[in-house]
């Protein structure tokens, strides 16, 4: 069955066609033998083209499903962003009176009432949220109460520092986790495996900020090898990146190890070994590729954790990123700035998750067809 085009009678060759009606799509059937999409009406008529035709080429079918999947994920991401905007908006209404939250503690009741009127806090909540959303989509989160500068501009100014730290931490995590995970899985029950398991557990149990303090004590205070704080050259990045990346390294290492152990038991790996392939080829060419797929998803999710963890790491190391900006804004009760920063970070996380899904779909064709 060539499956070239819907109008081609020869498409209905000798292959056994199993038809399965889908409740919502009576005209769409699936051929399980040759993976050919065939319109039932076509089949009943025997030939000819018809409306609502799905391409019979498996590649085109995969492309259809992929597009549908991506649109669905995009719609889902947009819904999540709307939800994020709602959370960011409602956080400052948690106490009931955002005006009291945004003004200094010694503001008089008249000042609070005037401020409430000016900011529209007397309007119904849904109208306030609508105005907030319209302004947020234009990038207007108001002025920072302390700095009297546009909040979004301040966040954007600090974003490169946070992204630099986050990406460095991710790189540290992968550089440590992948070799250690592979070595640990390929030498199970060895000393290396036991040490890696212990390190993995320790890495997941250690508080980030305590680790940062200990690294500063050892490498900055005692040994004086590396600077303790601030942003500058590569040496300034080392300690914060290690601090932030440790938890992710431990998580990825443990995941990769357990994934590889499962894959190394599979039949195709046994086949590769029985063919006489070198163990390195078996692991790196056959096993690791499959083990890295779930790791990719976790790495995408870890990006969000790293952005959140950056708040603490940046505070410990006085790294001038968005995390430290949020911390200072919270201490200064500068909530327009907090809103802008939290919203932007959440937006980045949703985008990264979406891109991770796309990449995963590209790498694992089973996702497209599921």
Interacting residues with another protein (CB under 8 A): 76, 79-81, 83-84, 86-88, 91-92, 94-95, 101, 201-202, 204-210, 213-214, 216-217, 221, 258, 294, 304-305, 307-309, 311-312, 315-316, 326-327, 330-331, 333, 335, 338, 342, 345-346, 349-350, 353
CA distance 240 to 223: 17
CB 158 within 8 A of CB 350: no
Smallest distance, another protein to C-beta of residue 342, A: 5
CB of 80 to another protein, least distance (A): 5
| Nearer Cβ to another protein (178/346) | 346
List the one residue out of 343, 360, 349 whose CA is nearest residue 152.
Answer: 343
Tell me how far apart the alpha carbons of residues 278 and 271 are, in angstroms, rounded to a whole number.
Answer: 12
Q: How far is the CB of 186 from another protein (least distance, A)?
A: 19
* Nearest distance in Å: CB 209, another protein: 5
CB 136 within 8 A of CB 125: no
Smaller CB distance to another protein: residue 95 or 274?
A: 95
Write the CB contacts of 27 (distance below 8 Å, at least 6 apart in sequence).
39, 40, 41, 52
Tokens 């998580």 belong to which residue? Answer: 251
Minimum Å gap between C-beta 88 and another protein is 8
Nearer to another protein, 216 or 282 (CB): 216
List, as one string, the DSSP characters of 214-258. Answer: HHIIIIIIIS--S-SSS--SHHHHHHHHHHHHHHHHHHHHHHHHH
The residues, any chain, with a CB within 8 Å of residue 329's CB and separated by 6 or more, are: 144, 146, 335, 337, 338, 341
| Cβ proximity to another protein, 41 vs 305, nearer residue | 305
Which of residues 216 and 253 has its CB atom nearest to another protein in the complex?
Answer: 216
Q: Which residue has the tokens 């070595």?
A: 183
Nearer to another protein, 86 or 363 (CB): 86
């Amino acid at each position: 069955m060539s499956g070239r085009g819907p109008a081609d009678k020869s498409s209905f060759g000798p292959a056994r066609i199993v038809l399965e009606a889908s409740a919502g799509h009576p005209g769409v059937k699936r051929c399980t033998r040759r993976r050919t999409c065939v319109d039932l009406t076509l089949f009943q008529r025997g030939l000819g083209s018809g409306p609502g035709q799905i391409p019979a080429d498996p590649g085109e079918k995969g492309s259809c499903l992929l597009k549908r999947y991506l649109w669905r994920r995009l719609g889902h991401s947009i819904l999540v962003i709307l939800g994020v905007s709602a959370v960011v908006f409602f956080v400052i209404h948690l106490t009931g009176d955002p005006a009291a939250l945004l003004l200094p503690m010694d503001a008089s009741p008249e000042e609070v009432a005037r401020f409430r009127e000016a900011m529209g806090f007397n309007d119904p909540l849904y109208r306030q949220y609508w105005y907030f959303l319209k302004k947020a989509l234009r990038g207007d989160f108001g002025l920072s109460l302390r700095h009297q500068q546009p909040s979004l501009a301040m966040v954007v100014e600090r974003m490169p520092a946070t992204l630099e730290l986050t990406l460095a931490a991710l790189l540290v995590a992968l550089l440590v986790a992948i070799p250690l995970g592979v070595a640990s899985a390929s030498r199970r029950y060895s000393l290396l495996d036991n040490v890696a398991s212990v390190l993995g557990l320790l890495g997941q149990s250690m508080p980030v900020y305590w680790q940062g303090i200990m690294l500063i004590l050892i490498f900055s205070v005692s040994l004086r090898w590396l600077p303790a704080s601030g942003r500058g050259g590569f040496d300034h990045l080392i300690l914060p990146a290690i601090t932030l990346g440790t938890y992710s390294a431990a998580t990825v290492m443990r995941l990769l190890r357990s994934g590889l152990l499962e894959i190394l038991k599979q039949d195709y790996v046994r086949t590769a070994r029985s063919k006489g392939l070198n163990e390195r080829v078996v692991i790196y060419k056959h096993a690791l590729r499959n083990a890295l797929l779930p790791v990719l998803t976790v790495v995408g999710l870890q990006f969000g954790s790293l952005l959140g963890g950056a708040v603490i790491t940046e505070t410990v190391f006085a790294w001038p990123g968005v995390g430290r900006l949020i911390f200072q804004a919270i201490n200064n009760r500068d909530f327009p700035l907090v809103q802008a920063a939290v919203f932007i970070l959440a937006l980045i996380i949703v985008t990264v998750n979406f891109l991770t899904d796309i990449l995963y779909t590209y790498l694992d064709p089973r996702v497209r067809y599921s």
